[in-house]
Chain A
Amino acid sequence: MLNYTFNWSIITSGQYFDWLVTGLLTTLKLSAVSIVLAFVLGLLIAVMRMAHNRPVRWFAHAYLEFFRNTPLLVQIFFWYFGSYKILPTFINDWLNETGFEFAAAAIALTIYTSAFIAEDIRSGVLSIPKEQMEAARSAGFSYLRSMQYIILPQAIRITIPPLVNQFLNVAKNSSLAMTIGVMEMTYQARQVESYTFRGFEAFTAATVVYLALSIVITALVNIYNEKVLMAHKAA
């Protein structure tokens, strides 16, 4: 016999609603910052991974293996509890004032995700026929310029589906930031539950928010892909 009475009004208005909205905004901010930075960093690491210079290539390889193969939660704890100790005092003071939680979470998410994105982009680059590089080089482009104007724009189009996965992972993984006190969606849902014992309602709200966020990210990337990137495929 179900003797639980649902009370959705608790989370659709008033103080707890405000908490959830702040949580949502923080999750959006954390995800957006991490996605953009992880993409840029991933691109850089991917190019380094394919560089002719051996030390550069090895550095990128080590970076990839290191950050792909350690748990995100450990990395978040490392940046939050560990990196703190080795920074100069004046940076520490500034961080204490501004709140280091958000920055630590963003750094961990960015670096962790960039490793996966770099591998996705690299496999995209490897799938571009080598004649494209030859055509670019024979026109007088340097290796890096060839990458920039000819190879990467094509590789990224191919990489879109795995990239969407990485972007979705960032949005979902951002929930781990609650463990260091970032007041994002999951943190706020937990708060609401603690104050009201309305765990079902609170986490239903969180679930809906993450689901909606994922669908929006997927739709945005797909629209961009079809309207802009795949224009050359149209008959």
Chain B
Amino acid sequence: MITFKGVHKWFKKLHVLNDINLHITPGEVLVVCGPSGSGKSTLIRTINQLEPINDGSLIVDGMDLSDKKTDINKLRAEVGFVFQQFNLYPHLSVIGNITLAPIKIRNIPKKEAEEQAMALLTRVGLAEKRDAYPLQLSGGQQQRVAIARALAMKPRIMLFDEPTSALDPEMIGEVLAVMKDLALSGMTMLVVTHEMGFAREVAHRVVFMDNGVILEEAPPEDFFMRPQHERAKQFLRQLLTPMQCECP
């Protein structure tokens, strides 16, 4: 479904993606983790070309991203993206946020788009918020609307860029529950997250990145129980027991 072959990316002189080789099969749930600045967000942002790659090849759902003739807007319509900061459209109501792209890009009649949107809102548990505006919602609710907005385009792939990092702790659960439900429905998902509980329970595979390089790539049980790399071991120690950092 998604294939990275020798992908490189630079920001000026900074080598943010270094020889990435990765294959994601349909229906797979892949969690990408790593310290900040490791290139994990950049990695998933290349998949819908929010960040273009500089070298190598990247094939997403049969479309070659290094080919200039690939219709990037068509690709993006097939790939849902959920941001850390939700990025809902503040001037539109919840239902307006969800139906905008289906109506304008897929040319679905308004009534039909609204029916589908209501079904999605029910699925994320926010049917009663259809006429609210984003600023009137909590962070967790906004993120669930953002997921519904992405799903409204009936994407074949869903990308999540630290979807719970901007949330209060008590709202993380409601968003993860929606994501888990989505994973169980067979959606192909790439999730950048520090929620190791989610990774352990839902992911088929965990990828650990540092300095633009994929250091580990393993099923969650192996990754958590038997990490190979010293950097991964250190990362996991700090993440699982942050109070016991190795301070001098």
The interface of chain A, by Cβ under 8 A from chain B, is 131-132, 134-142, 145, 149-150, 153-154, 157, 229, 231-235
A231 B48 Cβ-Cβ under 8 A: no
User: Hey, which chain A residues are within 8 Å of B90, CB to CB?
Assistant: 154, 232
16 more contacts with CB within 8 A, not counting A135-B81, A135-B88, A139-B101, are A131-B85, A134-B50, A137-B50, A138-B79, A139-B77, A140-B73, A140-B153, A141-B101, A145-B104, A149-B104, A154-B89, A231-B133, A232-B93, A232-B133, A233-B133, A233-B135
A140 B87 Cβ-Cβ under 8 A: no
B133 A138 Cβ-Cβ under 8 A: no
Interface majority SS (helix, strand, loop, mixed), chain A: helix
A154 B91 Cβ-Cβ under 8 A: yes
Rounded to whole Å, the gap between the CB of A70 and the closest CB of chain B is 36
CA gap between A153 and B90 in the complex, in Å: 10
Q: Could you name 7 residue pairs across A and B whose Cβ atoms are closer than 8 Å? A: A131-B87, A134-B87, A139-B149, A149-B100, A157-B91, A232-B91, A232-B135
User: Hey, which chain B residues are within 8 Å of A231, CB to CB?
Assistant: 133
User: Hey, which chain A residues are within 8 Å of B77, CB to CB?
Assistant: 139-140
Query: A-facing mask of B60-86, CB < 8 A → 1, else 0?
Result: 000000000000011011010101010
Question: Which single member of A140, A150, A233, A234 contacts B76 (CB below 8 Å)?
Answer: A140
User: Hey, which chain A residues are within 8 Å of B85, CB to CB?
Assistant: 131
User: Hey, which chain B residues are within 8 Å of A141, CB to CB?
Assistant: 73, 101, 104-105
Question: Which single member of A131, A135, A138, A153 contacts B91 (CB below 8 Å)?
Answer: A153
CA gap between A139 and B135 in the complex, in Å: 20
User: Hey, which chain B residues are within 8 Å of A137, CB to CB?
Assistant: 50, 76
CA gap between A136 and B149 in the complex, in Å: 11
User: Hey, which chain A residues are within 8 Å of B149, CB to CB?
Assistant: 139
CA gap between A132 and B134 in the complex, in Å: 13
Is the CB of B238 closer than 8 A to any CB of chain A?
Answer: no
B91 A140 Cβ-Cβ under 8 A: no
A131 B83 Cβ-Cβ under 8 A: yes
Rounded to whole Å, the gap between the CB of B92 and the closest CB of chain A is 8
Residues of B within 8 A of A (CB-CB), count = 28
User: Hey, which chain A residues are within 8 Å of B101, CB to CB?
Assistant: 139-141
Is the CB of B136 closer than 8 A to any CB of chain A?
Answer: yes
User: Hey, which chain B residues are within 8 Å of A139, CB to CB?
Assistant: 76-77, 81, 100-101, 105, 149-150, 153
Rounded to whole Å, the gap between the CB of B42 and the closest CB of chain A is 13
CA gap between A157 and B77 in the complex, in Å: 28
Residue on B with the closest CB to A229? B91
Rounded to whole Å, the gap between the CB of B160 and the closest CB of chain A is 12
The interface of chain B, by Cβ under 8 A from chain A, is 48, 50, 73-74, 76-77, 79, 81, 83, 85, 87-93, 100-101, 104-105, 133-136, 149-150, 153
Rounded to whole Å, the gap between the CB of B202 and the closest CB of chain A is 23
A150 B89 Cβ-Cβ under 8 A: yes
User: Hey, which chain B residues are within 8 Å of A132, CB to CB?
Assistant: 87, 89
CA gap between A142 and B81 in the complex, in Å: 16
What 6 pairs between A and B have smallest CB-CB spacing? A140-B77, A232-B133, A135-B87, A138-B81, A140-B76, A139-B101
For A139, A141, A145, A149, which residue has the most chain B Cβ atoms within 10 angstroms? A139
Rounded to whole Å, the gap between the CB of A4 and the closest CB of chain B is 56
**Known contacts being A139-B105, A140-B76, is A235 close to B136, with CB within 8 Å?**
yes
Rounded to whole Å, the gap between the CB of A72 and the closest CB of chain B is 34
CA gap between A131 and B88 in the complex, in Å: 9
Rounded to whole Å, the gap between the CB of B78 and the closest CB of chain A is 8
A134 B73 Cβ-Cβ under 8 A: no
Residue on A with the closest CB to B76? A140
Rounded to whole Å, the gap between the CB of A137 and the closest CB of chain B is 7
User: Hey, which chain B residues are within 8 Å of A138, CB to CB?
Assistant: 48, 50, 76, 79, 81
Rounded to whole Å, the gap between the CB of B124 and the closest CB of chain A is 17
CA gap between A159 and B91 in the complex, in Å: 14
User: Hey, which chain B residues are within 8 Å of A140, CB to CB?
Assistant: 73-74, 76-77, 101, 105, 153
CA gap between A150 and B85 in the complex, in Å: 17
User: Hey, which chain B residues are within 8 Å of A234, CB to CB?
Assistant: 133
